[in-house]
């Protein structure tokens, strides 16, 4: 299908079959491209991915910083494809295309096949999708279940059947088991229910309350796990949203525009600015409610303290469809829509092929201009520790930061290193301290990996020896380093 036909005003709506086939071709090509980037970028897992992989080795109903579904997805994908990079990341490689397919289906229900196809393609090529598709994270799951919940909510409001409200409860519950940001979907439902007489009548009917009960039932195992472990996930979530850091509202807004693409952002902003006409359309109103309340909530957070760019991530599902629908309504806007998608594709090419672009112009890839800097060299650094682990099989491996500890656990998984967290205060600030605190057992031996002075840890051992220093040059201007200390005869904390 040509771009001229795709954005044409006068032609009838594209039949579902050819449009879906075109979408599937785009998904396959993009996925192959992303697998190539993953396997040829020289990057290993991002620290959170290595961290989550560790979770997947001991499935539970919850973890220190996140609900359990991301670990379950990694467990399933690695059982299918192995523990390599593609196996760990496969959930993300599948979930973003699956979200695009949901968006296609929702777009056909709300508008027409052409709008649905363009929105799905636009979502697949958003800068935020370009970036996050290379990493397995809770955002991949959250976006999928948020989009599924938008579709389920539309169906429940339209048909008001018990099974539709049950389905909405399931998608919301699974979203909550992915990331607690899903709780903000209640604002979407409340806005739609409270702003119309029909919606208010539904609010006092059993349907919405069935949804709430089903969602709570799905979340119940994680609630029980939190209760049994002192509510670490809830405390962590509260802590990161109440950090006393400088407000970053303008930075946050800029990050949202960059995440959807500056030209496509015009469509989203246009739909919001023309609220009177947007609100008259049932379809536009659903997508407005599925995007703007969460955006405003996180903007309020950013106006008083720091807010991470991905905290409003779910807005890019319905927000993309809303932007495409708004831009599709006049010929001038449709030209802007074509340019918006073209610009986002160009951004993807630059990001994915950046090393090849630099090589073509004979520029070195330095740490300052490498988007994958934080994912390089950790596997080599971890492998450097392997001989000392082999020579001291009973020693616990302890590090002064969780990044190296997570990569040692993943990279040396065949050796099954005994990972432990130094925790004299018996505090819980990460998953390692929750489940892998160094036991307070006298006489044990550790291999301590640290860049700085280990005096505080060394003071608790009878014999301390620096046995090695590791350096991995990842870029001409940057290297990873760590010292390796053998500490024997633990005296206790």
At 9, list the tokens.
């005003």
Reported as a single tens digit per residue, the pLDDT across 440-491 is: 999 999 999 998 889 999 999 999 999 999 999 999 999 999 999 999 999 9
Least confident of 16-20, 129-133, 245-249, 319-323: 245-249
Distance CA 446, CA 458 (A): 10
Measured in degrees and rounded to the nearest 5, phi and psi for residue 77 equal -70, -35
Residue whose C-alpha is closest to residue 174's, from 220, 123, 240: 220
Distance CA 106, CA 220 (A): 29
Residue whose C-alpha is closest to residue 384's, from 400, 401, 397, 369: 397
Reported as a single tens digit per residue, the pLDDT across 35-55 is: 999 999 999 999 999 999 999
Pairing mode of beta strands 446-450, 418-419: unpaired
Give the model's confidence band at 205: pLDDT under 50 very low, under 70 low, under 90 confident, else very high.
Answer: very high
At 262, list the tokens.
């500056």
User: Exposed, middle or buried by CB within 10 Å (0-12, 13-18, 19+), for 391?
Assistant: exposed
Q: Which residues pair with 247 in a beta bridge?
A: none
Residue 14 confidence (pLDDT): 57
Reported as a single tens digit per residue, the pLDDT across 175-194 is: 999 999 999 999 999 999 99
Residue 309 confidence (pLDDT): 87
Q: Which residues pair with 461 in a beta bridge?
A: 490
> How many other C-beta atoms can be found within 10 angstroms of the C-beta atom of residue 342?
14
pLDDT at 7 over 70: no
pLDDT at 431 over 60: yes
What is the 3 state secondary structure string of the chain? CCHHHHCCCCCCCCCHHHHHHHHHHHHHHHHHHHHHHHHHCCCCCCHHHHHHHHHHCCCCCCCCCCCCHHHHHHHHHHHHHCCCHHHHHHHHHHHHHHHHHHHHHHHHHHCCHHHHHHHHHHHHCCHHHHHHCCCCCHHHHHHHHHHHHHHHHHHHHHHCCHHHHHHHHHHHHHHHCCCHHHHHHHHHHHHHHHCCHHHHHHHCCHHHHHHHHHHHHHHHHHHHHHHHCCCHHHHHHHHHHCCCCCCCHHHHHHHHHHHHCHHHHHHHHHHHHCHHHHHHCHHHHHHHHCCHHHHHHHHHHHHHCCCCHHHHCCHHHHHHHHHHHHHCCCHHHHHHHHHHHHHHHHHHHHHHCHHHHHHHCCCCCCHHHCCCHHHCCHHHHHHHHHHHHHHCCCCEEEECCHHHHHHHHHHCHHHCCEECECCCCCCCCCHHHHHCECCCCCCCCEEEEECCCCHHHHCCEEEEEEEEEEEEEEECCEEEEEEEEEEEEECCC
Torsion, Cα of 451, 454, 457, 460 (10° steps)? 150
Pairing mode of beta strands 396-399, 418-419: parallel
pLDDT at 349 over 70: yes
> How many other C-beta atoms can be found within 10 angstroms of the C-beta atom of residue 441?
9
Give the full edge-to-edge strand order of the sheet including 446-450: 418-419, 396-399, 446-450, 478-490, 461-475
Reported as a single tens digit per residue, the pLDDT across 221-277 is: 999 999 999 999 988 888 777 665 777 899 999 999 999 999 999 999 999 999 988
pLDDT at 436 over 90: yes
Residue 237 confidence (pLDDT): 83
At 364, list the tokens.
């070195």
């Amino acid at each position: 299908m040509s771009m001229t036909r795709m954005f044409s005003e006068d032609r009838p709506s594209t039949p579902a079959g050819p449009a879906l086939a075109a979408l599937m071709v785009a998904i396959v090509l993009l996925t192959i491209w992303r697998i190539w980037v993953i396997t040829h970028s020289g990057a290993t897992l991002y620290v959170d991915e290595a961290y989550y992989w560790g979770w997947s080795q001991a499935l539970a109903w919850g973890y220190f910083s996140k609900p359990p579904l991301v670990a379950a997805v990694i467990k399933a994908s690695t059982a299918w494809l192995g523990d390599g990079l593609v196996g760990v990341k496969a959930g993300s490689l599948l979930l973003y295309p699956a979200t695009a397919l949901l968006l296609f289906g929702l777009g056909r229900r709300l508008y027409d096949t052409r709008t649905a196809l363009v929105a799905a393609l636009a979502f697949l090529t958003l800068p935020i999708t370009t970036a996050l598709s290379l990493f397995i994270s809770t955002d991949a799951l959250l976006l999928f279940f948020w989009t599924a919940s938008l579709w389920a909510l539309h169906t429940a409001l339209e048909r008001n059947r018990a099974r539709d409200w049950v389905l909405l409860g399931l998608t919301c519950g699974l979203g909550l088991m992915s990331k607690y940001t899903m709780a903000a979907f209640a604002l979407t439902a409340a806005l739609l229910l409270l702003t119309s007489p029909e919606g208010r009548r539904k609010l006092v009917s059993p349907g919405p309350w069935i949804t709430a009960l089903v969602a709570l039932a799905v979340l119940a195992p994680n609630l029980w796990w939190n209760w049994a472990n002192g509510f670490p996930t809830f405390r962590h979530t509260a802590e990161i949203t109440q950090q006393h850091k400088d407000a970053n509202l303008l930075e946050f807004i800029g990050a949202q525009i960059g995440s959807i693409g500056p030209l496509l952002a015009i469509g989203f902003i246009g739909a919001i600015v023309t609220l009177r006409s947007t609100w008259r359309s049932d379809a536009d109103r659903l997508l407005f409610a599925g995007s703007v309340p969460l955006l405003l909530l996180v903007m309020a957070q950013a106006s008083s303290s720091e807010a991470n760019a991905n905290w409003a991530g779910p807005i890019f599902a319905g927000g993309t469809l809303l932007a495409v629908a708004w831009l599709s309504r006049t010929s001038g806007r449709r030209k802007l829509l074509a340019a918006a998608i073209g610009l986002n594709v160009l951004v993807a090419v630059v990001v994915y092929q950046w090393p090849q672009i630099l090589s073509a112009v004979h520029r070195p890839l330095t740490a300052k201009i490498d988007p994958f800097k934080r994912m390089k060299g950790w596997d080599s650094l971890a492998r450097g520790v392997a001989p000392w682990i082999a020579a001291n099989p009973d020693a616990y491996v302890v590090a002064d930061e969780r990044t190296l500890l997570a990569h040692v656990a993943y990279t040396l998984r065949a050796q099954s290193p005994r990972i432990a967290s130094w925790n004299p205060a018996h505090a819980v600030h990460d998953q390692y301290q929750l489940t892998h605190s160094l036991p307070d057992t006298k006489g044990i031996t550790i291999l301590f990996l640290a860049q700085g002075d280990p005096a505080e840890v060394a003071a608790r051992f009878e014999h301390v020896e620096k046995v090695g220093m590791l350096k991995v040059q990842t870029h001409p201007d940057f290297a990873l380093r760590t010292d390796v200390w053998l500490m024997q005869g633990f005296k206790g904390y």
